[in-house]
Chain A
């Protein structure tokens, strides 16, 4: 596997190198000043490059670097390990959800998904004939006993120490066993070329955002693991205008509301509002907790539902 990745980056380097020699490379990430200095010291072979603003410049060939910010190996390694000492949890307050769907569009922007692909989906629920309908956002539950990772034949999907379940698209062979195993239908399969695949094709694969997406592999909610690394809340959590989401660290017993920024005790929030998890009878031990849709801030309005968005 390692062999293959390093080959890959060598190939990429050669590719970008070739382009550069062809004077069509993008120079913004090379240090032009550094190149000029080096050239002053020891005249080496120079190449012509076209800058982003259309200027033709000469650069020392030795100064050329591929436009890769972080090497794939490093991203893969830290993505597999996770953030030590953390145990991430999400709390979704159903009494505040009015189907604004801002979480969904923020997620789709972040993870290169088309409008019909969902890492998180707001569902219209009705538990029984005479019970009240409500809206329920449903991301991956990041189960503590995940059935999905048990079935993967190639170790592509895994759980890390901070509790997040991720997929390694460099390994995934697209067998879709995990889709069948997940009781929450949290996973999607990339049947076609992903959205904007042309635009992102030179990006180094980041396992923590699953971008760029790859045709023939599986994708799902990642709790925005790349944002968590920068102490930022997941995309959906910060995008919600109605204060539905809380997100935080169970080890610290604190969750923060993405809308108000208010931090509260996780245990108190769950206890005082009778929080529950989805289908706990399956023993999957979800990390996403729900607060029941009682005392709702918004009337249920089925008209708000855009049928086309429901898949």
Chain B
């Protein structure tokens, strides 16, 4: 009887154990999830917004796609998400894994939106050698240009900024470049706040206009440090401009030490505390002196009585 129980227990253990080994090696995705299709097209717009989200949420562990510069985590290092081994998976499979997470890979089910997840997958697909051809969708094509630059116009009255992106064609004509994403970033203490808004892509004439937030604090004069750049270096190399603009709300920082408060140190204790304390000390000492004085007078009084 005892033996049977032992055997059953052993069998059970083996079963559990083998199950966990299988789990550690592979990552099974239900068939239904594999079939899910990416609803978004592989336009350069989607790819570059996917890259942005990738850099924010995935890069810190997985590194840059195809560069194999992931962080070396043990026991399982993160995969290079641009490798062909990874990209043989269907969109649905990748989507499922991003959602669920496993081990050190967190779940992103609730932390990033569905649209953003598909954008990341679109971005990763752009490294796929097999699917690349088929995924190219007809897009506006900019002519080949040199000397690409942008001009920045700031309208302080209605707090807008206009960037005009242009390049010189082979014929020597300067033309606007269309459909390129620009980033408008405001310098803050520990990073850049993106104020580009929903659709910061250049139009047919190479213009993009953004509305600066009306309530964003600047310094005492309302000045803020802006960094404007072409979001994706892959198009025309690094293009950026730093500028101080007076678009913020003038803000006077309050120094909490300016007011006297209970929590302040001796230097800014409330007046009433100082008065009560000093008054109390004075009162007590005067009573003591009064008593002493009276006591000195006692012998005199006694003499007088005699």
| Chain A residues within 8 Å of B, Cβ to Cβ | 84-87, 95-96, 98, 144-147, 149-150, 155, 158-161, 163, 231-233, 241-243, 247-249, 251-254, 256, 259-265, 295-298
Contacts and interface: CB of A to CB of B under 8 A. Distances in A.
Contacts of B56: 260-262
A95 B191 contact: no
Given A159-B256, A251-B253, A297 B188 contact: no
A248 B107 contact: no
Nearest to A254: B188
A254 B42 CA distance: 33
B231 to A, nearest CB: 14
B189 A161 contact: no
Contacts of A264: 193
Contacts of B265: 149, 155, 158
Given A149-B263, A158-B265, A296-B110, A252 B189 contact: yes
B188 A150 contact: no
Closest 9 CB pairs of A and B: A254-B188, A263-B191, A256-B190, A256-B191, A85-B253, A263-B193, A149-B263, A155-B265, A249-B189
Interface of B: 56-57, 60, 104, 106-111, 186, 188-194, 213, 215-217, 219, 251, 253-257, 261-266
A260 B253 contact: no
Contact of A254 (B107, B193, B251): B193
B191 A252 contact: no
Given A145-B263, A150-B263, A297-B110, A256 B188 contact: yes
Determine the main DSSP class of B at the interface with A: loop
A263 B194 contact: yes
A295 B110 contact: yes
Given A149-B263, A251-B251, A265 B111 contact: no
Contacts of A261: 56, 191
Nearest to B262: A150
Contact of A259 (B60, B213, B261): B60
Contacts of A95: 110
A253 B190 contact: no
A85 to B, nearest CB: 4
Give the residue among A85, A231, A247, A263 with the most B Cβ atoms within 10 A.
A263
A237 to B, nearest CB: 9
